[in-house]
Structure formats: structure tokens, C-alpha cells
Structure 1
Amino acid sequence: MGSYAPTVSDDALRLKMPEAREFLGGDLLAQSIAALGCDVAFGLHGGHLDAFLTGCSDANIRLIDTRHETVAVQAAEGYAKISGKVGVCFVTANSGFSNGLPGLATAFADRSPIFCITSSPPLRDAETNCLQGFHDQVVLAKPITKFAHRVTNVEEIPRIVSYAWRTAVAGAPGPVLIDFPIDILFSPPRLESIAWGAINRPLPYAPAPAPEAVDEALQLWTQAKRPVLLTGTGARGKDFANQFLKLAEMTNTPVFYSSKYGSVIPYGHKLRGGPASRLALLPMIKEQSPDLMILLGARTGFLLGGRSGAILPNSGCKFIQVDTDGGEIGKSHAIDCGIVSSSQQFVHAMLSAISRTNNFASSEAWIQTASSLKDIPGAADNEPEELNSGRLHPVHAYRELFKSLPAGAIVCIDGGEVGQWSLELLEHSRASLAMVATGYLGFLGNGWGYALGAAVAEPSKLVLNLHGDGSAGFHLQELDTYARFSLNILTVIGNNYAWGMSQAGQDLLYGETVSARQASKLSPHAEYETVAAGLQCASARVDKIADIRGAVDNLLKAGKPGLLNLIVSDKPIHAVTKSMLNVDVGKNWIVVPYYDNIPRPHYEI
């Protein structure tokens, strides 16, 4: 084999050399990610990373330092969801890395492209019980990342960084983690020996559908009388909304969105169906379910009703599923036409194919039925604004909150019961985009980082960071981060003095007895608004419906991040929570909270 001798070529970066110090591995890392499009990174300082952090300053990369590493990784994820770019974060060796693992876990489950930078002790100190050197970070990260690697040669930094970055966005996106030992970051590279890899070349084109797949999808679509487009996190991207709207209009297809990410259809448009959960109302109004569903960047699973048939019909409906991961297609539902493609490329291909036909069977009556689902009143709409506890009914409180927001905000929802009520009322917010932060892991506390990343990605938009008092407690200290960076974030805590979904589940299973409520109560005396004021945020406490709009207006006029402590009742229990418990099934079933019940091995007669 011949020898490998890297040379300076068109692939090389035009490196910026510091004027008053030596050029180090940390500089090479910073300039490598800058070349790939990074202009902001979220993290928490650690001395292992100083060479990189200093390099970020010279590379014009903005650093947003958080109060906890978990939030830093989740902020990178929130940034990626809003910006459409790779989110970058940094966590220091071992202790910081361990705090960042929850963020990697959620990003991996929810397929978010993030690039996580960590460090470790010098390579020579391996297995010496040195400071922050106990865990092998690459081994720990591998199960919850698409790629994890330790760089052991400073000249290889650009090549490895480029490969990891491309891995984060290729196919089903996800997190990657690179460990740069401190001696690698503080060592000067031999410039003539740098391995550039593909650092200075464009990213590959996204996958597009096969021509025969487009023909098959078109045939199914033209035959459908009640088609539905259902979008998820994968249905996004530059200029995507306009092309997608054109596709929906040309096919007369109503559009619904997964709770993970929505929506791309303007408010007031006749094809806007609202949250996918509203499809479960069709049998209640004695209307037929869809006969064709096009899942566009939307995965099946509990966020779409699982295998219950409530949202995705178990019979009488054909499915087209479009995903960048072929293994995801047909994972839990039989799919009639599976297409491995990005959502953008699928839309482009379908628009081209549809221009050759105008023969769609969808009727105006179906469009009207589907789009009316979002306007059907909820079961609790006629209940009083205040309940016996003297606290606000959550349905009225959250509706008024959403109506008080300026149109076009970004809404980020975190929590259990607060999440269920909010999703039901989300259309009242007129948000430009909404995300449920808990994701497939049901991970509480994500909203703090998601809101942070969203606010950095879209500084001109208000970000609503909505929590229950349970999820609020995970990272309340990030109010300090919001204030230090003057972020346009309004945090609202729906405060019902309990872990609402946990308490509701215990009440349904065991009855409303104090002894049965184990580890589900929270303090009625917590003054979140006082904490917020101490962290230099505007704040208010509200326990009357009539005061919500004025409080929101005042907080938004304060010119700094705000927090509203919104006092709500822990009753009634939301219908979705009741359905997830499904306790009224008779003696021959074992109730399995939040999953499908199972039959007893020995039936009682």
C-alpha cells in the first residue's frame, strides 16, 4: 500500500490564524464546524474545552451558556427543529457529559440532528483514575447516538467532524458525539498534514422517491374519497411550506399534524384540519374515517394513537408512508405504499406527477367535515371557569392564555395533563409552529431547552414555554439564561399543585384517597413568580380568567423574558388520561396503566 500524505488543496479551509497566540486543535475544531454552517453553540463551560471556546470567538460562533448540560443539549435540539440546521452543543468531560446524556437520549428517540462536542483527560492518562476520566464516554454514548468517536490525532479533526456532521443529517437524522481529549484540543496541528476529508464540500442531496413509487402513490390518491395528509417532524425545510400547500390544494386533501411538530398550513385555510388527535372525533359525529392517509415525515406510535385505531384506522383505510428511514415504514401498521424519501423531495415529485392529472375524488363535503373537527367543542367547554377548589378550570385558563398571545408565536408544550389540555386548545394560539417537548420518551423538562433553542433560532418571534408545575421544576434556573441573553420567551406554569397525570392515574386506579396518592403531590405555596423576579425576569401570578389577558400583555411589554404563574385546578381529569388508564374493563382484564390492557391468564366466571 502507498503512503498517505495529505496536501493543501481545494478541500482545505482558509484557516484564520490568531494574532497573539498559537493555532491549536480547538481552533481547528471551531473553524471546521463554522465551515459546515455552525454560527451558534449551546453549552456549559469546562476547562477541558477552553481551547475550543476561544476558537469559537475567532470563528464568529456565538456561545449560549446554560445553567445545566441537559438543557444545553436540548437547546441544540430545539434550535435544530426551528432552524432546520444541525444544532451544536458542548459539554465538558465526564461530569458534564453525564449531565448531557438525557439530551442525547431524547434527540436520538426524536431523530433530531445535533452535534455534541465533549472532551476528556489527556490520552496518556488513560486508566490512571485521573480527574474526570472514569467513564469511557464513547462507549456510553454509542447506544444513544448515530455516531460516537474519540479523536486521537489533531490533524484528523476536520475529516472526523465532516463525517460526523453528515451522519447527523443523513437518512433518519439524529445526534452524534465527538470526544476531543484535552491534549488534542491544546495541541498545534501540523498544517501540511491536516486531513480535510469532505469539510469543504456540499452536503449530499436528500433521497427522492422512485418513479414507480410516485405512480403507485398517485393511483391510491386519485382513488381516495376521504384522503388525509398527516405531517410530522420530518415535514419541514427551506421553502417547504409553500410547495406543500400547493400539493394539498391541487389534491383537495385536508391536512392534520402530529403533536410533535405542527403546522405548515395557514390558519383559516379550508384544508387545515388541526391536530391529528381530532381525527378520533369522526365516529362521535357519525362520519366515516379517512380511506387514505399519507404519513409525511410522521412516525406511527403512541403520539398517533398507537394501535388503537382512534387516529390511524385499523381497517377500511390505505396508507402511504414517506420517511427517510425505510425501517420505520410499516413498523407498527401495514403500509400499502412505502416511500423512502425526504418530505421535500416527495412533495416535489408528486407536484410534477400531479400536473399530469386532475382526477381526484376528494369532495368538498369531506374537506368541510375534516376541517370542522378542530372547531368541535370539548366535553369540558360548558363547565364553570372555577371549580370547587376555587381554582381555574384548565380548559378555560389555557384557552384564554392562547387567545392572549400574538399571532405567529412558537408554542412549546411540556408536561402531562397540561400537555393534553393544551393540545386540545392549540388552534386558539394561531402559532406559526408548535412542538410537544416530551417526545417519544415522555421526557419532562425538555421544554426549557427547546424554548431556548427556538428563541435563538427565531429571535423575532415570541416563544411560549408552557409547563405544568411538575416539568417546571426540572430546570427553573434557566430563567437566568433567558434573562442574560434577553430572549423573547414567555414561560407559563400551569400550577395545579400536583404531578397532574400521575395523580390522575392514581385516582382512577385506586380512588381519590389521600393514602393512595403516592409521590404525586406538589406544594401549593411555591412562588414561581418570586423566583423569576429574582432571576431578573418579569413575573406575575394569576388566579382569575379575567386577569390572564392583562397579565400576558404586561409581561410582553416588559422588554425582557417573563413568567406567569397560572393557578389551575387539578380537576377534571383530561379524557385522554382516562383513556390511557382504561380501568372500566371488567374482572377478566389486567389494567396496565398507559398501555393496552392484557387478559388475565385465568378468567373469572
Structure 2
Amino acid sequence: MNGGDLLAKCLQHLGVQVAFGLHGGHLDAFLAGCEAVGIRLVDTRHETAAVQAAEGYARMSSKLGVCFVTANSGFSNGIPGLATAFADRSPIVCITSSVPLRDTENNSLQGSIDQVTASSAITKFAHRLTHAEDCPRILAYAVRVALTGAPGPVLLDVPIDVMFSPVHPKLVSHGSISCPLPYAAGPHPDAVKESIKLVMSSQRPVIITGSGASQGQVKPELMAFAERYHIPIFNSSKHIYTCPKTFGLYGGAAQNIALLSNLAKVSPDLVLLLGARTGMFLGGRSGAIIPPGCKLVQVDVDGSEIGRTLPVDVGIVSDLTTFLTAANQYNGSEVDEENKKDEWIALLPALQVPPPSPFESESGVHPESGLLHPYHALKQLFSTVQKDCIVILDGGEASCWALDLAPLCEPSTVIAATGYLGFLGAGFGYVLGCAVAAPDKKIIHIQGDGSAGFHFMELDTYRRFGLDVLTVVVNNSCWGMSRNGQDLLFGSRVPHRPVSSLQPSVDFKSVAQGLGVHAARVSRAEEMDRAVMDCQQRQGPGCIDLIVDRKPTHPMVETMVGPTSDPNVIVVSYYDNIPRPRYDVS
């Protein structure tokens, strides 16, 4: 047995069944070891997609994601994947290799970058293994770091000579490789009591769940908690849906809280943030979702996240399932199960019938260009695709349009791939990981034509592995959010729109067909239903090149850019505007 064999065997012992990556000679001993122990190897066309596939797999399966990238060049391509996993709290182990230990700092092939140093800022743990016999101990530690506390990526660099070196059995350091993971952090009894006090004294409480609530065991406890204390559940866009839409206390996306406030002319007086982070996905500092003056309870496995941007009345460092179980079993005198908050909950059904879109009355095509209206085109698409699918969104404006309309197909899961980094192109890797984790589900993959350009070759990967993925390129021949954002920012004052155009002649249908994928080009409404049905009825992946107009601008873009005619304000796109400085010229 060599180091690569031992590494693979340790992963198998830890329950790993699949690893995503791209071949490199530095990894051959490890790859052969994976084949020997039955770990499925899924190879991609680019390392970024491989690392993000491990992330997608982790998010869909609630298991550890594993990927492999070769030394230096492959590692450098994989850095964006480590960055997205770090920002979005995805537990993955990235295996890489490097030059022989004797050749460090020797200008050797693929030896210029210190991979441990380079990745330390975007991983929870990075380490170079210098003795094959230490593999069980170090890998077990790395996995614990990835999975416990705030989840995240770890990196293990195994030099090629360590990979190929024979293992001396008597020197193997096992560490905690055979020990179960530690029990999750639990809430302090006083914290449970104080949070229940706030719930009982509130009139208009809401729950907002985030990615911390995505693990399967949370769902029954969450629904039981909501029913016992009569609190509606909303989810941030970073979180897959946790309860069926038939559940009477489900309010939908967190953005609906702002809508609820508009309908009822009142706002929540208590918000329970359960595994959800404040910031961009919850309205920032605008107060639209978490209104100023409301009480706030925040439960998170990471204590540093509690109170990061908003004052918190009760902060609880706990695994979400453990907290909910404790709250459901709590029998203090504060509990009044007859306090049903009927008037507040009676407002929820109005959210199941959202107000008409301002674009509903517009024509299905642009009156000047004759191109499909993006709202109407995607509405027809989502009305046609099969229900209970997984929807993964990528791109700028394309994902904004799709997020509004995805509920039409009653998806089991919606994942916005851009995440906290606003990272375009991540959807290809997420799709791959989700398709491997949930092979019984149809995946609808929405891309803009800008984001599609990053990793469109991964359609070849979907084809090679026979994955049931429908990739839809919302094609408006520009970087839509950039171009329309510049229109809002500059208006007629600046005639040019720098670096925001794309080539209209790009034919995604032909590219997909060249990769062996069934594809269609849709530029008229009457072509949509047949194109979707053809793709759904065929085995393996499909692609639709959906030609739409770049107008109208999605309202989210206007909200993010924040244009104003106030001469005393400087517009800072995507962030809060700032007052224009005044100078005393006297």
C-alpha cells in the first residue's frame, strides 16, 4: 500500500462515495486507490467546476463533498471553488498534490506556488502531508474541521513522493479516523427560556431560515416548532425550501415579509433567524425584511456571526436541530399553546397569490426588436417543465427573472449559485454535484449568456455521465445586469456602455450539439413547449438557447443600483448611496 492508496482507503472509511476532479499525474496513486476501494470518480472539464461540484454535492446531500485537483495549475484553477465554498459555508475536502519534498524551491514543474499558504485565507484548514503514515490522523482532523462549527472547505496537499511512497504499517498514526463526529453544540437552558419568552410576548413573530437549516433532520423539528408556537416560516434565498407549500405556516421567500408588511400595514415584532446570516440576502441595512425596532433571536453554530450587523436580543450558539428539539420539549410556565396569533397567521394565504407582475400586461415580445420578453419567456418555460424538479440559477438578470418565476413548476429545491461572492458560472459545478447527489431528480439549470461562457464545456461532462439536466441559456447578447445597470447609472449623460456587450451571433444550440447534447433554439413563444418537451423526453442532458430582449430591466437591478435624481447624493451601485461632500470654497 502506498500513500495514495491509504488516502483513498481513509476517505472510504469516512463514508465518501464520490469525488469530483480533473486528472493530473501527481494524483495517479490516489486515483488508482479510489478505483480500488470503489469511490466513484467524476471528472470535469475544468477544476473550478470540479470544486464547485463537490460543494453542490455537499449542499444537496448534507454529506461531505470531496474533490481533487493536480499540482499548481489545477490548484490555481480550483481556487475560485474554494472561495465560494468558504463564503457560502460548504463542507468540502480538496485533495491536491505537489512536487517531491526534495524538490521544493527548486524551480520544479508545477512547483512555483506554495499551495498551503495560498489557500490558507479561503479555507478553514490547509496542510501539507509529509509522511504517508500520518494520513489517517490528518484527514480525520481535516474532516472534523470541515463539518463542525461553521462548515467550510479544507485542503490537503500530498506531495507526489508521499503519494507513491510505501506505507509502513507499524508507523501509521490513526488519530480519530474511527471515532464518530462529536455531538453538535447545544443551547444554554436560559437561552431557550429567554427565546420562548420573546415568542410568547410577541404578536407578529416570523422565522427566517438560512443555509444552516438545509440538513434533512432539521425539517421535522422546524415544522413542529412552528406549529407549537404558531410562527410562520420564511426562507432566505441561500436556503433550499424546508417545508411543503401545503404547510399552513409556510410563507415562502424572506422577501415576502416586506410584501406582508405592505399588505397588512404592520411589520413583524419578532424575527427568529435560524441558521441564517444577516446581510445581502436579508435586505442588508434597509429594514425591508428585518424591520428596525423588532426583537431579534439568532441561532447559529458560529458565535461570531451573531450580532454581526444588527443588534440581537437573544443570541444562541447551537446546532439548529439541537435548539429546535430543546424548544419543542420546553415546558416552562411561559408556554401558552392557545396563543395562536390568528390574525397574523390569517395574512399568510395572501402571499400564496402574489400581486400581478408589472410585466404581466406587457406584450410577450418587445415592440421594437420583436424579441421575446424575458418575463413572458421564462414564465412559459417554468409553466412547461416537469414539477418537483431542482432549479439552479446562475447569472445576473437571468437569475433575477427566474427566481421570481421558478415557483410555477413547484420545484423541490431552488439554489441561487452566485452566493455571497456574486460568482458567475458556479451553476455548472453545482448542477453536476446536485445531479450526482440526487439522480432521480430533473435539474433545470438557468444561465445567462454571460455566465454560460464560463463553463459551457461542462455539458460534455453531463453527457458523459448521462445526467438528467436541462440547461437554459437566457440569451440577450449582453451582460444584462451590467448593461442595464449602466443605463440606470449614466442615462443619456454618458453615451457609451463599456465592456457590457456580447456577440449576438454566438449559437449555444450548435455548441451544445457539438458536445453531443440535444439542443434547441427558441426565439418565438410558439416554439417553447415543443422544445421543452423534446428535451424532457430524451435520456441525458438537453439545452435550450432562449433568445430574449435585454429590456425591460428587472426591478431588482434598479433596487441594487439605487439611481436617484437627488444632486446631494452619490450613487454607489450595489451598495448604500453616500452623501455628496460639500466644500467651503470661501
Normalised by the length of structure 1, the TM-score is 0.93
Q: CA deviation at 1:283?
A: 4.4
Q: Is the 8 A contact 2:214 2:240 kept in 1?
A: no
Whether 2:320 is the aligned partner of 1:343: answer: yes
Whether 2:501 is the aligned partner of 1:534: answer: no
Q: CA deviation at 1:251?
A: 2.1
SS in 1 for 2:531: helix
2:330 maps to 353
Q: Is the 8 A contact 1:506 1:516 kept in 2?
A: no
1:194 to 172, 196, 206: 172
Q: Is the 8 A contact 1:403 1:428 kept in 2?
A: yes
1:101 to 48, 57, 79: 79
Q: Percent identity?
A: 52
Q: CA deviation at 1:513?
A: 8.2
Q: Deviations over 1:291-342 (max 9, x none)?
A: 1111111111111110011111122x11111110000000001111111111
Q: Is the 8 A contact 1:218 1:354 kept in 2?
A: no
1:377 maps to 356
1:329 to 283, 301, 306: 306
Whether 2:507 is the aligned partner of 1:507: answer: no
1:14 maps to none
Change (3 A) 1:46 1:551: same
Q: Which moved more, 1:362-371 or 1:252-261?
A: 362-371
Q: Which moved more, 1:135-144 or 1:548-557?
A: 548-557
Unmatched 5+ stretches in structure 1? 1-22
Question: What are the equivalent positions in structure 2 for 1:291-302 lying under 5 Å apart?
Answer: 291-302=269-280
2:560 maps to 580
SS in 1 for 2:273: strand
CA distance in 2, matches of 1:251, 1:506: 47
Q: Is the 8 A contact 1:142 1:148 kept in 2?
A: yes
Whether 2:30 is the aligned partner of 1:81: answer: no
CA distance in 2, matches of 1:218, 1:162: 38
Whether 2:369 is the aligned partner of 1:387: answer: no
SS in 2 for 1:234: helix
Q: CA deviation at 1:354?
A: 6.1
Q: CA deviation at 1:393?
A: 1.7
CA distance in 2, matches of 1:524, 1:284: 41
Change (3 A) 1:371 1:258: farther
1:396 maps to 376
Q: Is the 8 A contact 1:498 1:520 kept in 2?
A: yes
CA distance in 2, matches of 1:368, 1:67: 51
Q: Is the 8 A contact 2:264 2:347 kept in 1?
A: no
2:281 maps to 303
Q: Is the 8 A contact 1:225 1:361 kept in 2?
A: no
1:318 to 286, 291, 295: 295
Q: Is the 8 A contact 2:43 2:50 kept in 1?
A: yes
Instruction: Kindly provide the amino acid, as one letter, of the partner of residue 318 in structure 1.
Output: K
Q: Deviations over 1:411-466 (max 9, x none)?
A: 11111111212222232231111110000000000000001000000000011111
Instruction: Kindly provide the amino acid, as one letter, of the partner of residue 92 in structure 1.
Output: T
Whether 2:457 is the aligned partner of 1:477: answer: yes
Q: Is the 8 A contact 1:588 1:604 kept in 2?
A: no
Whether 2:152 is the aligned partner of 1:174: answer: yes
Change (3 A) 1:335 1:562: same
Unmatched 5+ stretches in structure 2? none
Instruction: Kindly provide the amino acid, as one letter, of the partner of residue 206 in structure 1.
Output: A
CA distance in 2, matches of 1:270, 1:277: 18
SS in 2 for 1:473: helix
SS in 2 for 1:282: helix
Q: CA deviation at 1:242?
A: 2.4
1:593 to 555, 573, 576: 573
SS in 2 for 1:474: helix
CA distance in 2, matches of 1:588, 1:193: 71
Instruction: Kindly provide the amino acid, as one letter, of the partner of residue 351 in structure 1.
Output: N
Q: CA deviation at 1:403?
A: 2.1
Q: Deviations over 1:75-120 (max 9, x none)?
A: 0000000000110000000000000000000100111000000000
CA distance in 2, matches of 1:549, 1:209: 51
Aligned length, in residue pairs: 582
Q: Is the 8 A contact 2:193 2:332 kept in 1?
A: no
Q: Is the 8 A contact 1:323 1:339 kept in 2?
A: yes
1:156 to 134, 155, 159: 134
Q: Is the 8 A contact 2:372 2:524 kept in 1?
A: yes
SS in 2 for 1:312: coil
Q: CA deviation at 1:268?
A: 2.8
Question: What are the equivalent positions in structure 2 for 1:130-145 lying under 5 Å apart?
Answer: 130-145=108-123
Normalised by the length of structure 2, the TM-score is 0.96
SS in 2 for 1:464: strand
2:419 maps to 439
Q: Cα RMSD between the aligned structures? A: 1.7
SS in 2 for 1:120: coil
SS in 2 for 1:516: coil
